Chain A
C-alpha cells in the first residue's frame, strides 16, 4: 500500500512524458492523460481508505531513513487533499477535451497542454505527500512552472502581460520560501517536517516568530491572502476557461494546505492566532468588496475566491480540532464549488459570447441547463442552507463560539456579512445574465449595474461558440459531486474530524515518521547544526 505514495507522483510525470511523445497523435495523447489522471484518482481513493483505517503511510525514499533521506508522508489530511484534487483535475481535463473536440483543433501539430497539465498534477500531488519542507518546495516549483506555461498558453499580448506579473510574484514567494527553508535548517538542523516540529518549540521565541512569519508570508502569497492577493484577479481570468478553473480550485488551496500543515505542526501553541484572524477578516472583506464592483463574471469569481480564503484562515487561526475539521471540510467544499463555477462560467462564455454582465442577457432562455448549473453553484458558494457551503461556514462559526473570545465574534460577524455579500454579487450576476431578456441589454440602466467596472482586458466583443455534450456533462457531474458533499456531509465531516485529530497534536505525525523515536538522531553529528552549535 505504501508503494502507492511515490507512484501517485511518478504516474502523472510518466503520463506527461508519454503525452509529449504523442504530441502529433492527439487522440492517443488524450487517452494517455485521461488514463493517468483516472489512475491517480483511483490510487488516492485507495490511499484514503487505507490511511483512514491503518494510520499514516510513510515512505523513506531510496531506503534512507528520515531525516537523512527524503520522506513522503500521507496522513488523512494529505489523502483527502490528494483525492479531491485528483478528482477535480480529471473533471477539468475532460472539460478541456470536450472543448478541444468542439473547437476542432484535432489537427494541431504540437500540443503542449496535456503534458503541462500532467506536470501540474504531479507537482500538486508532490506538495501534498511531501514529508519535508524541501520536497514541498520542489512540488511547489513543479506546479508553478507548469502554471506559468498554462497561463501564457498561446502567447497573446494580454496573457504575456498578466503572465509576467504572476510569474514575478510567484518567484518572489518561492524565494521567500527557500530563504525560510534555509533559516529553518540553520536553526533546527533539518528540513524534515516531523523533526522540525519536535525541535521548533525549543527555539527562542523571537526566532520562532521570524521563521513562522517568513513561512506565513511565503505561503500567504500563494494562497492569495490579503494584502498579498492583488495579483490573483488580474491573472487568473485571462487564461483559458479550464485552466482558470483548475488554478482557482487548486493552486490557492496548496497555499492553504501548506499554512495548515506548518501551523499545526510547528506552532501547536497558536502563536500566530491573532495576526491570522486579522488578515482573515481583511481577506474576507476586501475580497468581497472587490467582487461587488466587477462586471466580468470571471473577475467577480476570482474576487470571491480571495474572500473565501479568509474563512479557511479563520479556521486555522482558531486551531481547535473542531475548527481544523471545519477548515478541511471547507477547503474540500471550496475546491469543488469554485472549480465547478469557473467551468460553468466557461460555458456562459461560449453560450452568451462574453462574460461581461453588461452585455449578457437572456441566458435562461438560451440555455436552461447552463442556468441551472450556475444557479445551484452560486447558491452553494453563497452559503444558502442546506448546501455544503452553509454547513462548512456553520461548523466554522460553531468552532469560533465554543472558544468564545470577543475577536471570534467579530470574525463570525465578518464571515456572515461576507457570505451575504457573496450572495448579493452572485444574485446580481444571475439577474443580469439570466433573467434579463436579451433585447433589454442595449441601453439598460439599473441601480444594480451602475457601479460595475469592466475588465480592463475586455475588448467588448460578443462571440458565441458551440458547447459540446462532454463539457456540459462534466460540469453537471461536478455539480452533482458538490451536491453529494451536501448529502453525505455527515460521514465526510466525520472523516475530516478524524483528520483534524491526526494533525491537531504534532506527536501523531512525529510518531508516524519516527516510530523508534527521535532520540538517536539528536546524538548524531552530520546535518545537525543545532547540536553542533550547542556543543
Chain B
C-alpha cells in the first residue's frame, strides 16, 4: 500500500490539534475538537484507499488503474453522520449556554408537564421565540455599547436586561418543552 506523505502529515496534525482542543473546558472548543478529529479520521480512511488512480466504474477502467472506491463510500457515510451529530451538539451547546445564563435557576428547571393545551403550548413557543429575539437584541446592544463607550453602567444594564429576558424565555420554554415531553 502506498500513501501520500502530505496527507499523512495533515492527518497527524489534525488529530493532534483536535485532541488538544477537545480537552478544553469550553463546549464550543470540544465541538471544534470533535470536528477536527472526525475529519482526521475521514482522512485516515481516505489514506487507506492506497495510491491514486482513475475513477472507478464510470470510466470503465479495469483492475490496476482504478482507485479503490470502498473507502470513499465509507468516508461519505462518516461525513453525513458527523454532520448530524454536529447539528445536535450545536443545539445542546446553545441550550446549555441558555441555562448557564439563568444561573442557579437553570438547575432547578424541571421537566414537569405544565402545559394544559395545545394553544397554550403554541403561545409558549411564540413567546419563547420573541424572547430569543429580545436576548439577541440586548446582546447586540451590549456589544455596541461596549464598543462605542466604555461606560460601565450601560454594559451592566444591558447584561441585566439580557439575563432578565433569558429567564423569561426559559420560563416559557419550560412550559413549552414540558408540553413537548412524551
Q: Judging by beta carbons under 8 Å apart, are B180 and A110 in contact?
A: yes
In the bound assembly, the distance between CA atoms of A527 and B182 in angstroms comes to 46
Mark B1-37 against chain A: 1 for CB-CB distance below 8 A, else 0: 1100000000000000000001000010010001001
Is B110 an interface residue, CB under 8 A from the partner?
yes
Q: Considering only CB atoms, which chain A residue lies closest to B107 in the complex?
A: A157
Residues of A within 8 A of B155 (CB): none
In the bound assembly, the distance between CA atoms of A449 and B154 in angstroms comes to 54
Residues of B within 8 A of A183 (CB): 44, 48
Q: Judging by beta carbons under 8 Å apart, are B41 and A182 in contact?
A: yes
Residues of A within 8 A of B44 (CB): 179, 182-183
Measured between C-beta atoms, what is the minimum distance from B8 to chain A in Å? 12
Q: Given contacts A109-B121, A156-B111, A525-B64, is CB(A185)–CB(B48) below 8 Å?
A: yes
Measured between C-beta atoms, what is the minimum distance from B133 to chain A in Å? 20
Q: Judging by beta carbons under 8 Å apart, are A114 and B182 in contact?
A: yes
Which residues 154-192 of A have a CB within 8 angstroms of B? 154-161, 163-164, 167-168, 171-172, 175, 178-179, 181-183, 185-186, 191
Q: Considering only CB atoms, which chain B residue lies closest to A149 in the complex?
A: B88
Residues of A within 8 A of B109 (CB): 156-157
Measured between C-beta atoms, what is the minimum distance from B116 to chain A in Å? 7
Is A508 an interface residue, CB under 8 A from the partner?
no
Mark B56-67 against chain A: 1 for CB-CB distance below 8 A, else 0: 100000011010
We find that the number of chain A residues with CB closer than 8 angstroms to chain B is 53
In the bound assembly, the distance between CA atoms of A141 and B86 in angstroms comes to 13
Is A138 an interface residue, CB under 8 A from the partner?
yes
What secondary structure prevails in chain B residues at the interface with A?
Answer: helix
In the bound assembly, the distance between CA atoms of A183 and B15 in angstroms comes to 15
Measured between C-beta atoms, what is the minimum distance from A503 to chain B in Å? 26
Q: Judging by beta carbons under 8 Å apart, are A160 and B50 in contact?
A: no
Q: Judging by beta carbons under 8 Å apart, are A96 and B179 in contact?
A: no
Residues of B within 8 A of A149 (CB): 88
Measured between C-beta atoms, what is the minimum distance from A273 to chain B in Å? 29
Of A158, A240, A525, A533, which one neighbours B66 at CB under 8 angstroms? Answer: A525
Is B96 an interface residue, CB under 8 A from the partner?
yes
Mark A71-103 against chain B: 1 for CB-CB distance below 8 A, else 0: 000000000000000000000000010001001
We find that the number of chain B residues with CB closer than 8 angstroms to chain A is 56
Residues of A within 8 A of B89 (CB): 167
In the bound assembly, the distance between CA atoms of A171 and B88 in angstroms comes to 12
Is A230 an interface residue, CB under 8 A from the partner?
no
Q: Judging by beta carbons under 8 Å apart, are A109 and B92 in contact?
A: no
In the bound assembly, the distance between CA atoms of A533 and B68 in angstroms comes to 13
Q: Considering only CB atoms, which chain A residue lies closest to B121 in the complex?
A: A109
Q: Given contacts A157-B108, A167-B89, is CB(A526)–CB(B181) below 8 Å?
A: no
Given contacts A107-B117, A112-B182, A185-B45, 18 further A-B contacts (CB under 8 A): A107-B116, A112-B180, A113-B181, A114-B182, A134-B77, A148-B92, A156-B110, A167-B92, A178-B78, A181-B74, A182-B45, A182-B74, A183-B48, A240-B111, A525-B64, A526-B68, A529-B50, A533-B1
Chain A residues with CB under 8 Å of chain B are: 96, 100, 103-105, 107-114, 134, 138, 141, 145, 148-149, 152-161, 163-164, 167-168, 171-172, 175, 178-179, 181-183, 185-186, 191, 240, 459, 525-527, 529-530, 532-533
17 A-B contacts (beta carbon < 8 Å): A96-B182, A100-B182, A105-B179, A107-B117, A107-B118, A134-B77, A145-B85, A155-B95, A157-B107, A158-B107, A178-B45, A185-B71, A186-B48, A191-B70, A525-B63, A526-B69, A532-B1
Q: What are the nearest 3 A-B pairs in CB distance?
A: A113-B182, A154-B111, A186-B48
